[in-house]
A and B are shown apart, each in its own frame.
Chain A
């Protein structure tokens, strides 16, 4: 301690300037080293492919009866999902789990609540052929698309082999990789703009970490990088009407270990993607936070702390097409 001042006396003017410069830079933009990470920049992808993917994303011919497009359930204007507990399939019947947002989905380590798809392409594949969702098959889809000259042209421009199932999936996945919601206030905070959050919100983040939410909801997508049992500290499903989908990842692996295990969802844009959980059982963010405290954390927070955490969660809402969601 006593050495430091004597050393700083020896600093040359240039070194002093350097120190000041470094200091300033650090104040201006040094990203915070937190378990939560800011969104990466939008990847540079082929514009034509992205545009084709965008058209396909809004293409109702992907469903067997032309009633649904990806965008029917993943509405980009409203958080990348719909506000229904269960979206309606091509036949008008509700699907079995709540629709997760398509925003930032490319950052999830796996897709679907039960993580049965490792890639976006596999996710698209399953939705198109799912008898509850689009109910189609690839031959029908390809025939339908190939019959339209504008698709013929757009596909030929991007892919040498034209309209194929693999190319449809690739184009859609490429488009989905651009569906990021940058510039959330919390991301700005992480990037060094510590003034952007209110004190309450900063407390909320503090509580988020202290209570252990951070144990699962961390990383760049604030979740979406691990599986977790729903009901770590108690049986969440007790007393509820049982549903097959409550088995979660067990349905994929048939491993007892995976009973009631789900992919931890991303908390980005969580404030605009109600209702919550695979079965849409929580209608509001507060409700969902309560459930998490009871069954995942086994803690009883103060109402003040809960409010702060909810306030913090609302800072995670990003922007799409330059507008806040």
Chain B
């Protein structure tokens, strides 16, 4: 529910951002399409074409007055204009679509004008070339005729003087005609040509060819000069420049219109940007505020955290103190328990010591040795006549027999005392054993030493023996053959004593069946020593199973919850583990210790 709502918010935010950005981009594009450059380029192209057009015109005029004989310059401008024209047509994309037909029409009109001018210029080239050629040749042609005249004798020359003059006039008229081509002059020249044709007949044959050539060329001039003139006029009237101007005007108008639109969008952009900036400012302020808030909360949290840490430290320290106190008390309690055991065991043995001592005392009190004193008294009463007394006196005669009996009795008695004293000293040894055993376990040793596990188990039993016999507990021993191993005697014994003690306690409320502890020792998986203590006692409820080894857990009123915990710790310290199993309340319990072992033989 919450993540989906967060997603929705994020989606909304993203959409709004994209929307704002696209509006901005849209306005920016609309307001700065930089069409100015396009218009400038197009106008530049048109301007170039106008220049070329003017250049073209001037080349036409140069050709007209025969300044140049090379007609390439009359071709080049058209080629260049055609190229620029194609480029201009490629530029059309930015025009207002509504205005496009007008622009196209303008372009078409321009093309028509250009084609017309090109056609006329081509014609001009053709006609002008031959016209210029003939005009240039005219003086030479006339010279040829004059040369023929000069070749004639004076008589002939006089005869043809008028013809020569007419020819010369015709030449001059033609040259004038080339400057000012009027119909009158044309008529005049035609008249002259006719006259020349008439005169030719009068002239000698050698004149005919040069006169014909001259006539032909003059006729060509008369024919071509008006054509060239009219072509020049027509070229001048072809409105190429005007069409180009029209296009420029159109571009200007178009640009003004697009500038207006651009300005409009520029305004929009400005307003929109202002709005955006305002929004950004607002958001920035909000951000700053929330940042401050976050900082404040952060500091507070930090303070609380520090405080908490201090408290945790303090509490930890307290807990540690409590634990060490508990440990101390547990140790004391353990020692007290052990001491109780020891004292109880010692007490048991002392009982037999007491009995033995009583027995010896009673035997000494009723000793037959007292009879020896009486016999000696009888002997002492008869120091002089001892022989007589022994032989004569009735009492004296009985005395040796009595002494013999006494000796036997004393021997028996002595035997009994010796036996009893041996028993006594054994008991004392036992006490010494118990005490020394206790003393040997009291120290905290973690050294490994060779051990017989079964002997160790016996020691543990012996330490508990008083309590066990007091509670009438039967011990079943299932000891497998286990080699002598290297192990931590103190820890093992601690665990065993505790487990046996626990088993005993577990069965203290048992009255309907015999109390029985089963101790077993065996090896599993080759290198694991498994020691288990099983009882038929109250069992462990499932809910307690999990925390049975935790520190402070106990089910006993006087318990301190330390025993099993320390056992488990000890097991872990020996790289082993202590596990408990119970089928439930009233079903008894099985505690199993597993530790890895090394054979003592291997160590030696």
> Which interface class (under 10, 10 to 19, 20 to 34, 35 or more) fits B?
20 to 34
* Docked pose: A321 CA to B123 CA in angstroms: 37
Cβ contacts under 8 Å, A219 to chain B:
70-72, 75
Interface pair B129/A299, CB less than 8 Å apart: no
- Residue in contact with A226 in the complex, picked from B71, B82, B213, CB distance below 8 Å: B71
Shortest distance in angstroms between B510's beta carbon and chain A's nearest beta carbon?
102
* Docked pose: A297 CA to B70 CA in angstroms: 18
15 more contacts with CB within 8 A, not counting A218-B69, A227-B125, A229-B126, are: A35-B68, A37-B70, A109-B75, A212-B133, A212-B137, A215-B129, A215-B132, A218-B70, A219-B71, A225-B75, A226-B129, A227-B122, A227-B126, A298-B216, A300-B209
Interface residues, chain B, CB within 8 Å of chain A?
A: 68-72, 74-75, 79, 82, 119, 122-123, 125-126, 129-130, 132-134, 136-137, 209, 213, 216-217, 220
Interface residues, chain A, CB within 8 Å of chain B?
A: 35-37, 109, 118, 212, 214-216, 218-220, 225-229, 232-234, 253, 257, 261, 296-300
Interface pair A228/B69, CB less than 8 Å apart: no
- Residue in contact with A220 in the complex, picked from B72, B136, B137, CB distance below 8 Å: B72
Interface pair B69/A214, CB less than 8 Å apart: yes
Cβ contacts under 8 Å, A226 to chain B:
71, 74-75, 122, 125-126, 129
* Docked pose: A284 CA to B214 CA in angstroms: 29
17 contacts between A and B (CB under 8 A): A35-B68, A35-B69, A37-B72, A214-B69, A215-B130, A218-B71, A219-B71, A225-B75, A226-B71, A226-B74, A226-B122, A227-B123, A228-B130, A233-B216, A233-B220, A298-B220, A299-B137
Interface pair A228/B129, CB less than 8 Å apart: yes
- Residue in contact with A297 in the complex, picked from B74, B123, B125, B133, CB distance below 8 Å: B133
Shortest distance in angstroms between A236's beta carbon and chain B's nearest beta carbon?
14
Cβ contacts under 8 Å, B132 to chain A:
215
Closest to A298 in B: B216
Grouping DSSP codes into helix (H, G, I), strand (E, B) and loop, the A interface class, with mixed when no group exceeds half, is loop
Closest to A228 in B: B126
* Docked pose: A214 CA to B132 CA in angstroms: 11
* Docked pose: A136 CA to B349 CA in angstroms: 138
Shortest distance in angstroms between B134's beta carbon and chain A's nearest beta carbon?
8
* Docked pose: A226 CA to B72 CA in angstroms: 9
| In the A-B complex, the 8 residue pairs with the closest CB atoms | A219-B72, A212-B133, A35-B69, A215-B133, A226-B125, A215-B129, A109-B75, A35-B70
* Docked pose: A109 CA to B126 CA in angstroms: 14
Closest to B140 in A: A210
Closest to A221 in B: B72
* Docked pose: A150 CA to B220 CA in angstroms: 59
Closest to B217 in A: A298
* Docked pose: A253 CA to B216 CA in angstroms: 28
Shortest distance in angstroms between B237's beta carbon and chain A's nearest beta carbon?
18
Cβ contacts under 8 Å, B72 to chain A:
37, 218-220, 225
Interface pair B213/A299, CB less than 8 Å apart: yes
- Residue in contact with A212 in the complex, picked from B68, B136, B213, CB distance below 8 Å: B136
- Residue in contact with B213 in the complex, picked from A253, A257, A261, A298, CB distance below 8 Å: A298
Interface pair B213/A232, CB less than 8 Å apart: no
Closest to B213 in A: A298
Q: Which of A215, A225, A299 has the most CB of B within 10 A?
A: A215
Interface pair B126/A261, CB less than 8 Å apart: yes
Cβ contacts under 8 Å, B133 to chain A:
212, 215, 297
Closest to A213 in B: B133
